[in-house]
Structures are given as C-alpha cells and as structure tokens.
Structure 1
Amino acid sequence: MVTLPPQKEDQAGFEAFMGRYLPGLAAERAAVEHLNTDDVLKELEIRNMDNKEF
C-alpha cells in the first residue's frame, strides 16, 4: 500500500466541506432535542390505529 501526501486543492476542499458540515451538526442536534418523544410516540400510535398496514 502506498500513502500519498494530500494535495493542497484536496485539503482546501475538505476544510471547506467540514466548515459547512460541522455547523449543520449543531442544527441537527437542536432539532432532535426539540422533539418531544411522548408526542412523537402518541402520533405513531394514532397512525397505527388508523392504518393497520403502518
């Protein structure tokens, strides 16, 4: 196996990607924390009663 050093263009692209990706993780975490688990479970139960194929 041969390991090559990263090219500057590739490294810059990866850093740009991570710069966009990491802040998105904070937004995703906030969305998940905002969900009320009890409300979600109640909604699933209602849908399951209405649609036996669910």
Structure 2
Amino acid sequence: MATVTPKPAVPASDELAGCIAEQAHLLDPADPLFVRLVCEHDDCCSTDADYPNWTPGGQA
C-alpha cells in the first residue's frame, strides 16, 4: 500500500502566480530553443555540486 504524504496548502495567489508563469513559458517563442539546449547539452546545465547523486540521462 502506498503512503500518501499530504502537501501543505498553497495560497490561491501563489497558485495563480505559478499558472501565469507556466503560461509565459508556453507562449515564449524562445522556450523551445531553451528546451532543446537543455536536451542536447544537459551536461552543461548543472555541476556535480548541484546534484551529487544525479547523472546526465539518468545513467548510474
């Protein structure tokens, strides 16, 4: 049986701000270019210190 951990309530204003920010990303003509950059050069997007247990592409 899965354990469900309740998440704290998010104020409506914060939720609205998050939705607006997401819409801005969807409508930004440069966003697909950024996504492509991350996909093609994921090794340049962070350092080992940022995510010590993470490897590009999820390789062990």
TM-score band w.r.t. shorter chain: 0.3 to 0.5
TM-score, normalization by structure 1 = 0.39
Whose helix proportion is higher, 1 or 2?
1
TM-score, normalization by structure 2 = 0.37
